[in-house]
Chains A and B, each alone.
Chain A
Amino acid sequence: MSTPPVVRVMEREARVLARLWRGMVFSTLLSPLLFLAAMGLGLGGLVKAHTGRVAGLTYLDFVAPGLMVASAMQLAANEAMWPVLGGVKWMKTFHATVATPITAGEIVVGYVLWVVVRAIGASTVFFVVAALLGAVPSAWGVLAIPAAALCAGAFAAPLAAYSVTLDTDLVFPVIMRVGVLPLFLFSGTFFPLSQLPSGLRPLAAMSPLWHGVELARGATTGTLHIGADIVHVLVLLACVGAGFAWGRRTFARRLTS
């Protein structure tokens, strides 16, 4: 009875989580839930008093799926940068792993799948809290969880592929500030893309986060559009697939040259 190699790679991450879960749960969930309270309830109340609705939704209903997927993206970005460089550069545990029957390509796939599992866990907790606050009007809402997980994979796979090529972590804070933060703010998370200057809208629509947020919002509000949603899923799957293909090469080059 053999276990697939990528699952065995994930077992290591699960073991670390089993030891450190308290700190991880806290750091993973605190920020999104604070955002939900501040934006959904605080700002949402203000929006209600002034314009009433955003894209036909209460602001809480609008922002909750956006925050959920954006948090999954942030989790994925963090986990695909420092720990990956740690595995190849600081702890060098990936070097120990490729000395076993596990291959470099299986490490990147297993690691990214583990990040997706983490995103499912974090999104589920967020989803339950959002539902308790009344931010999930539709029973289709649970589909927002796989949407967030897919979006996490779309970020984790290419970023992990890139991180493994580095020698220092100097560029990571830059990626967070210049890449992840603008996506977080301008991917239809806090306001519809229609608020952006028309020239910037196509740019924002290229963001994988936007595709994830659209999927999740369609689910929580029960406004699924099959054609558009298939496109969103395909875009995100393409990011995952391209990330895996690239990662197999970069991990192999770094670990087995």
Chain B
Amino acid sequence: MDPLIEARALTKRFGGFVAVDGIDFVIRPGEAFGFLGPNGAGKSSTMRMIGCVSPVSGGTLRVLGMDPAADGAQIRARLGVVPQEDNLDTELTVWDNLMIYGRYFDLPRAEIRRRAEELLEFVQLTDRRDSRVDPLSGGMKRRLTIARALINEPEVLLLDEPTTGLDPQARHMLWERLYRLKQDGVTLVLTTHYMDEAEQLCDRLVIMDAGRIVAEGSPRDLVATHATREVVELRFGRAAEQHAALARVRTLAPRVEPVADRLLVYTDDGDATAAAVTADGVGAASVLVRRASLEDVFLILTGRTLEE
């Protein structure tokens, strides 16, 4: 299958600052593809280039088989964009937000009305159709933004940090809607700095750091390739105790990562390592064994946590 989006040595510079530093990726039809990384990793810049609202500084980018520099308007006609910051029209009602946005795509009014009815149903905002935008909750605004992004029945939906700032219930509701879209064959491209979001939604993802891609694969493959099966988390009463224990713990396991409030010990047998740590008397206040996650992959590859 031809790729929907293909980047080779894709670069974005703002003056002397390199936001995206020569990245390669391929996104295929129907998949959910993620850019995972901390703030400032270059995710949003990449999304804006894909969305044809930011010119490419170097390398090549093809979206839907076209060149963003030459065919921006034609590409955008077939994309849906959910930006990081809400930019709904607060001077219009929920319904008019959809009507006006549909007109930007030059759709006939009767067709927009038909789709708007369906989309409000889909995002569960039918009873708010005549409401203004301001009184809506954060989760409702996000859902309306997604409905708006779907008004042109896009082949690709770009979501930049779709659930940042939402409460857990609103996040789960949004994930569930996105999952349904994916089942309907819409290609999802999203950025996130939440590893649980990446694990929930993405078939495949790239991990970005400082403008570069540091790893690529499915969530499961990334964990299998770059992390151990399990992680033992050691918490200490005081920072000095944690610092003192580090060298001792390192003699018990090949890989130990200190983070702000705990030591992460990477191991294939968590229980055995936990037992060894306890037996050695390193003096941890708590010992927790868990499965390794994308967060650990990021930490191992970059030495930093995702949300710092």
- Where the two chains meet, the residues of A that have a C-beta atom closer than 8 Å to any C-beta of B are 2-3, 5, 8, 11-12, 15-16, 19-20, 91-93, 95-103, 255-257
Contacts and interface: CB of A to CB of B under 8 A. Distances in A.
Given A3-B106, A100-B76, A91 B87 contact: yes
Given A2-B106, A3-B106, A101-B77, A96 B92 contact: no
A15 B55 CA distance: 32
Contact of B83 (A12, A15, A96, A102): A96
30 contacts: A3-B106, A12-B92, A12-B100, A15-B92, A15-B96, A15-B100, A16-B91, A19-B96, A91-B87, A91-B89, A91-B90, A91-B91, A95-B53, A95-B87, A96-B83, A96-B88, A96-B148, A99-B51, A99-B53, A99-B76, A100-B104, A100-B105, A100-B152, A101-B77, A101-B106, A103-B72, A256-B55, A257-B14, A257-B54, A257-B55
Interface of B: 14, 51, 53-55, 72-74, 76-77, 79, 81, 83, 85, 87-93, 96, 99-101, 103-106, 148, 152
Give the residue among B14, B54, B104, B105 with the most A Cβ atoms within 10 A: B104
Contacts of A98: 53
A147 B293 CA distance: 68
A101 B103 contact: no
B57 to A, nearest CB: 11
Contacts of B90: 91
Contacts of B81: 96, 99
B91 A19 contact: yes
Contacts of A101: 73-74, 76-77, 104-106
B87 A96 contact: yes
A108 to B, nearest CB: 15
B181 to A, nearest CB: 18
Contacts of B92: 12, 15-16, 19
A96 B104 CA distance: 10
B91 to A, nearest CB: 5
A97 B104 contact: yes
B104 A102 contact: yes
A91 B99 CA distance: 18
Contacts of A8: 103-104, 106
B101 A100 contact: yes
A15 B93 CA distance: 10
A164 B20 CA distance: 26
A97 B100 CA distance: 10
A40 to B, nearest CB: 35
Nearest to A20: B91
A95 B73 CA distance: 14
Contacts of B89: 12, 91, 93, 96
Contacts of B54: 256-257
Contacts of A5: 106
B46 to A, nearest CB: 15
Contacts of B83: 95-96, 99
A92 B87 contact: yes
A18 B140 CA distance: 25
Nearest to B51: A99
B77 A92 contact: no
A15 B99 contact: yes
Nearest to A3: B106
B16 to A, nearest CB: 15
Nearest to A93: B89
